[in-house]
Amino acid sequence: MTRSKRPRTFYVGADALGDVEAYVDSSRAWVVRKARQAGWYERLAQLRLVTEVTRGLKPKVRWRDQRGVAGERELNPLSVRERMMLFTEGPHGPEPLWLWLNEQGMPFRPHPGTACSVRRTSGARRC
């Protein structure tokens, strides 16, 4: 999503994608396992277990909440808060769909008004 709330396609280099895959397989998997063992996901007030994401110009996300009640919304207009409640059924139970998780296995909240930027002089990334 852009600041104007419009969807955008972006491309990721193979090296960066490899780093993300390593994070998912190691650090992220560890905090998800720890959160499950502590029962943190079961105690969440809002958890939407995604059952389907449709395709097309206006994709929709379908889910069931903790009580089994089905819901559906267009994907693109979902707020950050709503996206942070989306979970998937992993091999050992529910886990957040949000990629970046904190040490408790919960989605990192983006800091308001900041975004990653690239320093012009060094090309270094700052988030």
Burial class (CB in 10 A: 0-12, 13-18, 19+), 45: exposed
The total domain count for the chain is: 1
Q: Tell whether 39 is covered by a domain.
A: yes
Q: What is the pLDDT of residues 47-59, one digit of tens each?
A: 999 999 999 999 9
Q: Tell whether 21 is covered by a domain.
A: yes
- Are residues 82 and 47 in contact, defined by beta-carbon separation less than 8 angstroms? no
Give this prediction's pTM. Answer: 0.78
Q: Tell whether 70 is covered by a domain.
A: yes
Q: Tell whether 83 is covered by a domain.
A: yes
The predicted pLDDT at position 3 comes to 63
Mean pLDDT of the chain: 86
- Are residues 51 and 63 in contact, defined by beta-carbon separation less than 8 angstroms? yes
pLDDT of residue 114 exceeding 80, the answer is no
Q: Tell whether 119 is covered by a domain.
A: no
Q: Which comes out higher in pLDDT, residue 2 or 29?
A: 29
Cα(94)–Cα(89) distance, integer angstroms: 4
Share of the chain above pLDDT 70, in %: 83
The predicted pLDDT at position 10 comes to 77
Domain assignment of residue 61, given as a range: 14-109
Q: Tell whether 73 is covered by a domain.
A: yes
Q: Tell whether 2 is covered by a domain.
A: no
- Are residues 22 and 91 in contact, defined by beta-carbon separation less than 8 angstroms? no
For every residue of the chain, DSSP letters joined together read --TTS--------HHHHHHHHHHIIIIIHHHHHHHHHHTTTTT-S--EEEEEE--SSS-EEEEE-TT--EEEEESTT--HHHHHTEEEEETTEEEES-S-B-TTS-BPPPPTT---EE-TTT--EE-
Q: What is the pLDDT of residues 66-113, one digit of tens each?
A: 999 999 999 999 999 999 999 999 989 999 999 999 999 999 988 776
Q: Tell whether 58 is covered by a domain.
A: yes
pLDDT of residue 124 exceeding 60, the answer is no
Confidence of residue 119 (pLDDT cuts 50, 70, 90): very low
The predicted pLDDT at position 1 comes to 54
Q: Which comes out higher in pLDDT, residue 120 or 93?
A: 93
